[in-house]
Amino acid sequence: MHEKISIIGAGSWGTALAIHLSKNFRQISLWVYEPELCDAMTRNRENTWFLPEHPLPENIHPTTSVQSAVKGQTLILLVVPTHVIRQTLARIKPFIEKDCLFISASKGIENDTLFTSHQIIQDVLNANTPTATISGPTFAREVAEGVPSALLASSENLETARQVQEFFTTDKMKVFANTDLVGVEIGGALKNVIAIATGICDGLGLGFNTRAALITRGLVEISRIGTALGAKPETFYGLTGLGDLVLTCTGDLSRNRQLGIQLGKGQSLKEITENMKMVAEGVLTVKSAHSLIKKFNVQASIMEETYRVLYENKSPVQALKDLMKVEISTEFAGIKGLE
């Protein structure tokens, strides 16, 4: 058993990871943004807002105090939406211990800077702040239930990645390690964009052929952008690329896919998001993907058309028609290392 860890963020994923890690840590501080939810979790030992029917083990201690959650901790797991990482770090910065290891479980790309989560952490705190990412094909509910799953622990330092691997490994969770931190974070973020596109096609009532084509070509687009950023092409054919993409594009528990389905059925983005309790990271990541495509002059027609549907009011039917007109080349054109 490890001694203690602080988890920042008590949404469905943060809560599920707290339950999972309760097997490996004696004490877990779980920072909860909403005071009302924190009170309910402390009283009822359950996160009824975001992960109902999954009791909290006794070694999980919810708190709304960032000082209480962070002070004295040398291990912090950050599980907040990417667009609030910067402001959350600013809140906890005064209480962070020297040489604290930050592990991110967020999957997104900051709109203005186009930074992934570890880059935001190092930008706010210090360029030398030890950072890692945990990612892979996992739904929060199934992790909380102990369904056999697999994750990828990544850090630019292999020793750090192996340390994180050890923290998260249980008899129900197989954890692998790698050092392609940028590739892991890009794969985890951009798969949400393709999941929205796949959901749109499902909402339009199209078949399995269309879904398979979108997933496969979506993976090529993710690889093009990732390798342009310096990622290794093989990363996108592992857990955080192909694995996470397949899960998010086909699983009914995927918020991004469900949002896409509603778009395909004719609802507007505003109507859908107003009724969503939890964030679909892909909505903002679509903007970042659009910016990366322009910055690196990458061909990524699926992501481009998804952007137009979400932010330019283009009809899904017309977007699909235009996708089918895109000029084609060789299968892996544009992927550095595979061209």
Q: Two tokens at 314?
A: 């283009």
Residues 6+ apart with CB under 8 A from 315: 309
| Backbone φ/ψ region at 336: left (φ over 0), alpha (ψ -120 to 50), beta | beta
Q: Two tokens at 66?
A: 């960032």
User: How close are the terminal C-alpha atoms of the chain, in Å?
Assistant: 46
The DSSP string of 123-163 is HHS-TT--EEEEESS--HHHHHHT--EEEEEE-SSHHHHHH
CA nearest 85: which of 71, 69, 60, 103?
103
Residue 250's pLDDT is 97
User: Which amino acids are annotated catalytic?
Assistant: 191
- Given a contact cutoff of 8 angstroms between Cβ atoms, the answer to whether 152 and 168 are in contact is no
Pairing of strands 75-78, 60-63: unpaired
Task: List the alpha helices (DSSP H) in 125-266.
Answer: 140-145, 158-168, 181-203, 208-228, 244-250, 255-264
Share of the chain above pLDDT 70, in %: 100
Map tokens 């528990």 to a residue: 253
Residue 329's pLDDT is 78
The CATH superfamily holding the domain 2-179 is NAD(P)-binding Rossmann-like Domain (3.40.50.720)
Map tokens 């009170």 to a residue: 39
CA nearest 250: which of 313, 208, 217?
208
Average pLDDT over residues 76-94: 96
Calpha distance 118→240 (Å, rounded): 16
Calpha distance 248→227 (Å, rounded): 22
Residue 9's pLDDT is 97
Radius of gyration of the chain (CA): 19
| 75: β partners | 101
> In this predicted model, what pLDDT tens digit does every residue of 99-122 receive, in sequence order?
899 999 999 999 999 999 999 999
Domain boundaries, the chain: 2-179, 182-323
Mean pLDDT, the chain, rounded, equals 95
For the entire predicted model, the pTM comes to: 0.95
Pairing of strands 149-154, 51-55: unpaired
Q: Would you place residue 275 in the very low, low, confident or very high pLDDT band (cuts 50, 70, 90)? A: confident
- By the 10 Å C-beta count (0-12 exposed, 13-18 middle, 19+ buried), 45 is classed as middle
Pick from 12-26, 294-308, 314-328: least confident: 314-328
CATH topology of domain 182-323: N-(1-d-carboxylethyl)-l-norvaline Dehydrogenase; domain 2 (1.10.1040)
* pLDDT of 339 above 70: no
- By the 10 Å C-beta count (0-12 exposed, 13-18 middle, 19+ buried), 146 is classed as middle
**3-class SS at 338?**
coil
Q: Would you place residue 1 in the very low, low, confident or very high pLDDT band (cuts 50, 70, 90)? A: confident
- Given a contact cutoff of 8 angstroms between Cβ atoms, the answer to whether 3 and 26 are in contact is yes
Q: What is the dihedral of CA 253, 102, 187, 312, to 10 degrees?
A: 70
Residues 6+ apart with CB under 8 A from 87: none
Adjacency order of strands within the sheet including 149-154: 60-63, 25-31, 2-8, 75-78, 101-104, 131-135, 149-154, 173-178
Calpha distance 300→194 (Å, rounded): 11
* pLDDT of 322 above 70: yes
